[in-house]
Amino acid sequence: MLGPMNLPPPLDPARHALFIDFDGTLVELVDRPEDVRISPEAVQRLGVLQRQCAGAFALLSGRRIADLDRFLSPLAFAAGGIHGLERREEPGGPIVPLAGPAGLDPIRLVLSVGVTEEPRLRLEDKGTSLVVHYRGHPELEGAAVELVQRSVADEPGFAVMKGDNIVEVHLGGMDKGKALSAFMTREPFVGRVPVYLGDDTTDEFGFAAVKALNGVSIKVGNGPSEADYRLSCVDSVHRWLGSEPGLGADGMKEAS
């Protein structure tokens, strides 16, 4: 596992393919996911990086791609949403769902009843995944986990993932790592070195995929990770993305 000050090397747009998580990486985590904000200057900088990488740039998020579009407008970008359960392979292209919402209907019913009984829990319905939030109520972590596990019961084919103050369930067979690997087989990503930045346990799938491709894996924030490098916070991410060649995350010259 990485050390606490293992800063990443500078981004090289000529040879890197850039993959970025959204919440906790490009924007701060907030109690209400719909309240996040990203500055127009940061969005503009992402557009510059996208052009510098010749289009080898994608967002990989647990959010729906439509939500990412709203926050990052007017930027158009490739994306994997809901941990890869929906995908847009090129900017302006169609959003392709890889699973429908109907398969979650029995689980949706159990979770709806559960959050009614415990109103401090909140259910987010993404269509192809269901998320139980307990942010602001850490004492309810066990109740959230138990509710989701009970909703799934012994049903095969579902994946349950824990994240930052959430428990999520969706149809199995997809994660951010698989989405990243799929992008890397297509132009303009193919032949480049993948770089992935993420902050949560769900991003560990992306780190594993990047390491298998001899890429650059960057954990944002504290906590154990299999990533090779670390940035301390969202501000550090934006400084690193905007750094000059030869500068590290905090503007210090990299050792050569």
Q: Which residues are catalytic?
A: 21
Q: Is the dihedral of CA 22, 31, 128, 155 positive or negative?
A: positive
158: closest CA among 148, 174, 147, 169? 169
Say how many Å lie between the first and final Cα of the chain, rounded: 23
Beta bridge partners of 253: 247
Tokens of 109: 């019913």
d(CA 54, CA 46): 12
d(CA 211, CA 134): 32
Under 8 Å between Cβ of 220 and 231 = yes
Under 8 Å between Cβ of 75 and 55 = no
d(CA 83, CA 202): 8
